[in-house]
């Protein structure tokens, strides 16, 4: 009799930037439970989501393809290109029972046997807070129990929304990282957030009225991560009590990071700066993978599906742009891929090229932050990306642009399709002509608008 394939418990933690996880060295204790569980597995220190935000990020993750392979660069794109299966479909063909919680309708969320929704974007209790992770657990734990009773291997995909704004974790998490004064009238830092009309009304709808200190909002983001981490512990304990740890691969990752008070991209996930690109990847399979391993090689979300399939011993025969990480996990060698193409196409339409030392970003439409059309940063000397060297280092702009264009041309030849960033715009009628036009044309007024936008994507 053939050996039963392992289950997969997949934590897709929306908007989680790895540098705000204590597991990755953050100074606040935001992820103690994930960190404790990760000691039994493998942590990748340098995982990137190169195509942001949600829809392209998850598309890369669950197909093993880059944006040319998926055709997806924008949030509201409805379909991955024809003939490209997602992980759930690959596993269903091999007898898996598949369930997705909180991800129905997204181009990357197709192919599951069962979908379960949960409430929790905005305040949903009398306390005025969002109990997102608790609401997810209330449907996820019974579903895990159901799957465990069956005779099929299973895939359970959980889309945690806590790190996604609004950051409204309930007590005792709400104030665990903040006991300061958030309402000093002399502190003017939040005023420019409120004055940024595309997002200002939205952010003002869920932060305390009169708040002046952005550090409070950052503490709320961290509190939401810690709240999610505690709720995830309940699911991990349930897995243990079901006796399924040795039969289940557990994955922790994210579709993209989050900009907080960085680069004027307030409390959202646009901008190709590293806060939006840096994500976790942790994989644990008790008594099958080595424990306590941390790997520094650069990887991308497109590597996750090939890695899981290789780990399971499944050969789909499919072409992937991503590559298995198993050689690194087992102590061997994998050819490095330290340079890569980056894109965003929801609030701003840009692409670029990232190396270990340099970051190039080029605008394809005028953006609503009035940023320069070309940005160049030395990531070694300026890791926070505030000193734009595009004018003083034109030779480096030229070199990186040539590398990027050569890669684009190569992928266009290989796919026989146009570059997706060239044919997807920020609005149906075509590119914005000016930053004034972009500023006037992009707006979220409240939580309901954010929910509606996510449903489109």
Of 116-125, 223-232, 423-432, 441-450, the least confident: 441-450
For residues 232 and 365, state if they share a domain: no
Q: Where do we find the tokens 């005023």?
A: 191
For residue 435, give its domain range. 348-441
295 contacts 43 by C-beta, under 8 angstroms: yes
For residues 265 and 182, state if they share a domain: yes
Number of independent structural domains in the chain? 2
pLDDT score at 443: 87
Asked, for residue 449, whether it belongs to a domain, the answer is no
Asked, for residue 337, whether it belongs to a domain, the answer is no
Q: Which pLDDT tens digit goes with each residue over 229-278?
A: 999 999 999 999 999 999 999 999 999 999 999 999 999 999 999 999 99
For residues 193 and 317, state if they share a domain: yes
Name the domain boundary from 263, 298, 329. 329
For residues 384 and 264, state if they share a domain: no
Asked, for residue 446, whether it belongs to a domain, the answer is no
For residues 114 and 15, state if they share a domain: yes
Cα torsion for 311, 317, 318, 320, to the nearest 10°?
Answer: 50
Q: Where do we find the tokens 């599906």?
A: 305
447 pLDDT band, cuts 50/70/90, is low
Name the domain boundary from 297, 329, 361. 329
For residues 272 and 378, state if they share a domain: no
Is the predicted pLDDT of residue 455 greater than 80, yes or no? no
Percentage of the chain exceeding pLDDT 90: 91
For residues 262 and 353, state if they share a domain: no
For residues 226 and 360, state if they share a domain: no
Quote the CA–CA distance of 445 and 198 in Å, as a whole number.
8
Which CATH number do you get for residue 376? Answer: 3.30.1120.10
Asked, for residue 14, whether it belongs to a domain, the answer is yes
For residues 270 and 175, state if they share a domain: yes
Asked, for residue 339, whether it belongs to a domain, the answer is no
pLDDT score at 276: 98
Q: In the predicted model, what is the mean pLDDT of the chain?
A: 95
Cβ neighbourhood burial of 160 (10 Å; 0-12, 13-18, 19+): buried
Average pLDDT over residues 175-200: 96
Quote the CA–CA distance of 383 and 322 in Å, as a whole number.
26
Is the predicted pLDDT of residue 365 greater than 70, yes or no? yes
What phi, psi does 221 have (nearest 5°)?
A: -60, -50
Asked, for residue 268, whether it belongs to a domain, the answer is yes
For residues 112 and 252, state if they share a domain: yes
For residues 61 and 132, state if they share a domain: yes
β-strand pairing of 114-116 with 97-101: parallel
Asked, for residue 250, whether it belongs to a domain, the answer is yes
Q: Which pLDDT tens digit goes with each residue over 112-136?
A: 999 999 987 778 778 999 999 999 9
For residues 355 and 285, state if they share a domain: no
pLDDT score at 1: 32
Which CATH number do you get for residue 132? Answer: 3.40.720.10
Q: Which pLDDT tens digit goes with each residue over 322-361?
A: 999 999 999 999 999 999 999 999 999 999 999 999 999 9
What phi, psi does 251 have (nearest 5°)?
A: -120, 135
Quote the CA–CA distance of 96 and 112 in Å, as a whole number.
10
What phi, psi does 278 have (nearest 5°)?
A: -90, 125
């Amino acid at each position: 009799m053939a050996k039963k394939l392992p289950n997969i418990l997949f934590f897709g933690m929306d908007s989680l930037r790895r540098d705000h996880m204590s597991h990755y060295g953050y100074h606040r204790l935001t992820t103690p439970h994930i960190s404790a569980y990760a000691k039994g597995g493998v942590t990748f220190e340098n995982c990137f989501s190169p195509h942001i935000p949600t829809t392209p990020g998850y598309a890369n993750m669950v197909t093993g393809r880059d944006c040319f392979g998926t055709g997806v660069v924008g949030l509201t794109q409805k379909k991955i290109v024809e003939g490209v299966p997602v992980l759930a479909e690959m596993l269903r063909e091999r007898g898996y029972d598949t369930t997705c919680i909180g991800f129905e309708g997204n181009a990357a969320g197709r192919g599951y046997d069962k979908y379960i929704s949960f409430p929790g974007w905005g305040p949903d209790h009398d306390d005025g807070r969002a109990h997102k992770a608790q609401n997810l657990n209330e449907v996820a734990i019974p579903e895990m129990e159901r799957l465990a009773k069956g005779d099929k291997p299973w895939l359970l995909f959980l889309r945690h929304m806590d790190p996604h704004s609004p950051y409204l974790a309930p007590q005792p998490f709400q104030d665990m990282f903040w006991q300061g004064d958030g309402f000093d009238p002399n502190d003017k830092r939040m005023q420019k957030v409120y004055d940024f009309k595309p997002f200002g009304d939205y952010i003002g709808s869920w932060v305390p009225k009169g708040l002046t200190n952005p550090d409070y909002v950052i503490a709320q983001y961290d509190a939401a991560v810690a709240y999610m981490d505690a709720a995830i512990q309940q699911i991990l304990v349930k897995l243990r009590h079901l006796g399924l740890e040795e039969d289940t691969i557990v994955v922790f990752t994210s579709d993209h990071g989050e900009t907080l008070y960085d680069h004027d991209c307030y409390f959202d996930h646009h901008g190709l700066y590293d806060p939006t690109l840096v994500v976790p990847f942790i994989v644990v399979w008790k008594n099958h993978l080595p424990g306590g391993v941390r790997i520094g090689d650069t990887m991308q979300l497109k590597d996750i599906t090939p890695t899981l399939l290789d780990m399971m011993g499944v050969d789909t025969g499919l072409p992937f742009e991503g590559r298995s990480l198993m050689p690194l996990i087992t102590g061997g060698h994998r050819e490095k891929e330290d340079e890569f193409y980056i894109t965003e196409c929801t609030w701003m339409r840009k692409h670029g090229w990232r190396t270990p030392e340099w970051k190039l970003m080029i605008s394809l439409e005028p953006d609503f932050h009035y940023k320069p059309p070309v940005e160049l940063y030395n990531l070694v000397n300026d890791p926070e990306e505030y000193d734009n060297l595009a004018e003083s280092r034109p030779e480096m702009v030229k070199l990186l642009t040539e590398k990027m264009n050569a890669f684009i041309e190569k992928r266009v030849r290989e796919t026989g399709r146009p570059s997706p960033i060239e044919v997807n715009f920020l609005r149906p009628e075509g590119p914005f002509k000016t930053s004034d036009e972009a500023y006037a044309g992009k707006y979220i007024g409240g939580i309901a608008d954010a929910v509606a936008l996510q449903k489109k994507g």
